[in-house]
Amino acid sequence: MRRLSLSLALVAGLIGAATLSSAAMYCLDFGGAESAVQDGFIRVTPAMVGGQDAAGWVDGSHLLVRDQPFTEYEGAEGSKVPPPCWTCPLSQDSVISDQPAELVIRVPDGTYHVWVLCGTSYPYRSQYFDFDIESGSATKPVRFEDSYQFRQAYLDVKAVGGEARLTFRPRSLFAVAGLVLYQDADRQRLLGTILNPVRELIDFLPPAEAAKWKQVQPTDATPWPAIPEADRQRGYVIHQRHWAEVVYPDTVPLAAEMNPQLRAFACPGEYEPLNFIVYPFRELAGATVAVSDLRGPQGSIPASAWEIRRVRYMRVRPNYTTIGQFKLAPDPLMPMDPLQPLPGRTNTRYWLTVHVPEPAAPGTYTGTVTFSPRGAAAASLPVRLRVLPLRLQEDPEKLYGIYYYDPLDEWASAKDEVSKAYFLQKSEWEMADLIAHGTRNVTTSLWAAPAKDDEPGTFSFNFDLFQKKVDLWQRFGLRGPFVVAVNASGIYRKYTGQDLGSHIANATLPPPEYAQELTAMCQAIETERVRRGWPEFLYYPIDEPSTGAGAIAFMTETLKAVRAAGVRTYVTADPTLDGFAPLRPYIDVWCTQPFLPARDELLKDKAARPVDYWCYPNHINGENDHTPVNGARMTYGFGFWRSGFTALIPWIYRADVGDPWNYLSGRMSDFFNRTEDSGRPIPVAMWEAYREGYDDYRYVFTCKQLIAQSRQAGGKSAQLAEEAQKTLDYVWGRIRVQPKYKDQDLWAPREADVYRWMIAEQAVRLEELVN
């Protein structure tokens, strides 16, 4: 399926399309009697019957019309924010049903091609659309999650007896906005007049909206090196940059980067990325990439150990809440599609990840990766992977977590069994992905409405749903303590009739009943936690409070109330700000955006009292332009080691606000990991950098453990241990300590590889002596 978000620019492209009675292109717009109709299309409502009208349904009695136009910026209280998706008359209304529906189109006999626009702008949540479009013996499956996005389907239909028939057969629901029947003679008209102009829009923004956004794009003025004649003849150049370096569409390769050898080292069980970049001199119609088995001295690493993806450029905002600026940047690592063209004079990057088999013997493994474009000669690159005789260990005193929207919440809300199965499977796939990237913890919530006046202390928690989450966490190996958000704001609203406002700026001191009920709510949760044997919770009543006098007074009472339940508190705030000083006695876990306070001050505080420090480094997640890949690695690895913090827990694994494939729609950008229509996760480059930082720290910790063993063993082992310690100390001293490792004053990516190798080399020497 191809993704498509329809914009108002489609209006102009379709004006020339004729009605059923006057041309060979037949254009239908599905909706209600009052719905807007796309220019050049005819209206088809559920009441229209195919045997009587030019087009209609055999039985439309079960069809729902969902009409939701989004054509302007809209927001609360006059604010200007982009809608979750933009629509035109064709896409703003759809027909939806959970029962099969047959469409009849009265046209001359013959064979037609059909373009179908599937999807809805109407807000459906916890819904998986899963249906087939059938024509004779041909079936085209269509699948997507929720609303605000559209899919295109192409198939053929044969008209017999003056009728062409299509059946929409749902497994859950189908959602169809419109279609076009056309014949071969009209193919270029369809593509050129209707579809291509839409695809070429700026992330499918209507022209009037696109004019409000400025593209702030870096350009590469580096002179091109001499191109080898063989590369000119085949029509493309292959080059390489370190995976942590950002490659834009116009990035110019250096001579030394062309036709590279792909090299890496790794341990059994480790994931390791490689990449190469193709720059075609003209458009290529598509391509496949294949890695051979890698042969080593004692066996091989099979081709199945490799995952191959293609980096997709997205129009991204400088910050997830910024409106009006964007640039084209690499982001999701898409599954391979051999039919997807490679645009001419634009870099296309391929991302290869090897998962070294656990039984792999130490040694050097070699093979090739072959790039095979359609209509041009193939090219092969040598691959060299060194497997080390080392098993990487995890530090039990460090915790890698992440804020997380759990699909099990959607599973609980879904209305049909197909959707429930989808969200359950999605949850398991995401959990496996978290584990594969070193993540061992997620945030969660136990939400309940405030107690009713006639039932004080009684709350309606869905503990059985939470049990299902805990069971999944334990099966995959997550570990606590888990941050659990509670509904303090709802209790505040109950007793004051007011909202807290952004960063609780509107907070005032609530009546004593507020604290009493919040304590009771936390006690109810804690009692159930103990009863069910769940891991420890950290109670999270308010997110990111401000330092205003009202906010601090409110937070003091809130934290006291939570503490009164006999539990530990968790607060997202910067402890170095003087305004938060009154809260210090009531905070058990500070979670800060930067690595602040500095290491020595942090360790001194932890030694003096029972307090802990976590970090949510959003500067390498949502609050950026999707390019601080190198900073993400540094944060997760050497920077984390140097910081003294206990946990990393950024916001967020995946966030979808509107159309998940248009980062310029919605009140804030959709960002970080994406999702296939099957429910499988699609990683972004920064997510892969998290794993590489996690591995950097595992090399450090493994070496530290081997140093301790070697010192205990004595003799030559102890002597080598001191040499290894000197190496660790050297790397430690080379770290340019910063509160935020983002995109300034960092090691070059290959420099980090060198430091990892220096540590790995020492660890291997010690491993050979003590184990």
Q: Are 294 and 409 members of one domain?
A: no
d(Cα 159, Cα 163) in Å, to the nearest integer?
Answer: 5
Q: Are 696 and 752 in contact (CB under 8 A)?
A: yes
Angle between helices 749-770 and 685-713 (to 10 degrees): 30
Q: Which of 271, 303, 273, 302 has its CA nearest to residue 288?
A: 303
> Which of 387, 407, 426 is a domain's end point?
387
Q: Write down the pLDDT at residue 16.
A: 34
State the average pLDDT over residues 741-762. Answer: 97
> Is 643 inside a domain boundary?
yes
Q: Are 98 and 29 members of one domain?
A: yes
Q: Are 56 and 132 members of one domain?
A: yes
> Is 41 inside a domain boundary?
yes
d(Cα 334, Cα 691) in Å, to the nearest integer?
Answer: 18
State the average pLDDT over residues 421-426. Answer: 98
> Is 189 inside a domain boundary?
yes
pLDDT (tens digit per residue) in 492-512: 999 999 999 989 999 999 999
Q: Are 588 and 611 in contact (CB under 8 A)?
A: yes
Q: Are 271 and 340 members of one domain?
A: yes
Least confident of 212-216, 239-243, 331-335, 416-420: 212-216
- Residue 422's contacts (CB-CB under 8 Å, 6 or more residues apart) are 128, 130, 145, 414, 679
State the average pLDDT over residues 198-213. Answer: 69
Q: Are 671 and 765 members of one domain?
A: yes
pLDDT (tens digit per residue) in 292-326: 999 998 999 999 999 999 999 999 999 999 999 99
Q: Which of 769, 13, 17, 763 has its CA nearest to residue 392?
A: 763
> Is 17 inside a domain boundary?
yes
Residue-wise over 286-306: b if at least 16 C-beta within 10 A, else e? Answer: bbebebbbbebeeeebeeebb
pLDDT band at 204; cut points 50, 70, 90: low
Q: Are 375 and 421 members of one domain?
A: no
Query: Bridge-partner residues for 313, per DSSP?
Result: 330
Q: Write down the pLDDT at residue 71.
A: 81
Q: Which amino acid is at 647?
A: A
Q: Are 296 and 409 members of one domain?
A: no
Q: Report percent pLDDT > 90 for the chain.
A: 87
749: number of Cβ within 10 Å: 18
d(Cα 518, Cα 513) in Å, to the nearest integer?
Answer: 9
Q: Write down the pLDDT at residue 191.
A: 73
Q: Are 157 and 112 in contact (CB under 8 A)?
A: yes
Q: Which of 564, 631, 644 has its CA nearest to residue 605?
A: 644
For tokens 């090399």, name the residue: 699
pLDDT (tens digit per residue) in 705-716: 999 999 999 999
Q: Are 43 and 185 members of one domain?
A: yes
Name the residue range of residue 624's domain: 399-439+616-771
State the average pLDDT over residues 146-154. Answer: 93
List the helix and strand counts (H, then E) for the chain. Answer: 18, 38
Quick one: how far is CA 646 from the chain centroid?
A: 25
State the average pLDDT over residues 6-25. Answer: 42
Look up the CATH number of the domain holding residue 351. Answer: 2.60.40.10
> Is 368 inside a domain boundary?
yes
CA distance readout (Å), 240 to 249, 275, 333, 470, 703: 13, 7, 16, 43, 31
> Is 461 inside a domain boundary?
no
Q: Are 403 and 323 members of one domain?
A: no
> Which of 149, 183, 212 is a domain's end point?
212
Give the DSSP letter string of 710-722. Answer: HHHH-HHHHHHHH
d(Cα 73, Cα 86) in Å, to the nearest integer?
Answer: 9
Least confident of 206-210, 486-490, 539-543, 689-693: 206-210
Give the DSSP letter string of 333-384. Answer: EEEP-TTS-B-TTS-EEEEEEEE--TTPPSEEEEEEEEEEETTS--EEEEEE
> Is 739 inside a domain boundary?
yes
Q: Which of 118, 95, 86 has its CA nearest to residue 33?
A: 95
> Is 110 inside a domain boundary?
yes
Mean of the per-residue pLDDT values of the chain? 93
Total number of domains constituting the chain? 3
Q: Are 728 and 763 members of one domain?
A: yes
Rounded CA Rg of the chain: 29
Q: Report percent pLDDT > 70 for the chain.
A: 95
Q: Are 203 and 255 members of one domain?
A: no
Q: Write down the pLDDT at residue 77.
A: 61
d(Cα 570, Cα 184) in Å, to the nearest integer?
Answer: 64
Look up the CATH number of the domain holding residue 39. Answer: 2.60.120.430
Quote the tokens at residue 391.
């098993």
Residue-wise over 477-516: b if at least 16 C-beta within 10 A, else e? Answer: ebebbbbbbbbbbebbbbbbeeebeebbebbeebeeebbb
> Which of 387, 416, 448 is a domain's end point?
387
Task: Decide if pLDDT at 161 tops 60.
Answer: yes
Q: Are 66 and 74 in contact (CB under 8 A)?
A: no
268: number of Cβ within 10 Å: 18
Task: Decide if pLDDT at 22 tops 50.
Answer: no
HSE-CB of 78 using CA atoms within 13 angstroms: 0
Q: Are 63 and 194 members of one domain?
A: yes
282: number of Cβ within 10 Å: 12
Dihedrals phi, psi of 217, to nearest 5 degrees:
-110, 125
pLDDT (tens digit per residue) in 62-90: 999 999 998 878 776 667 899 999 888 88
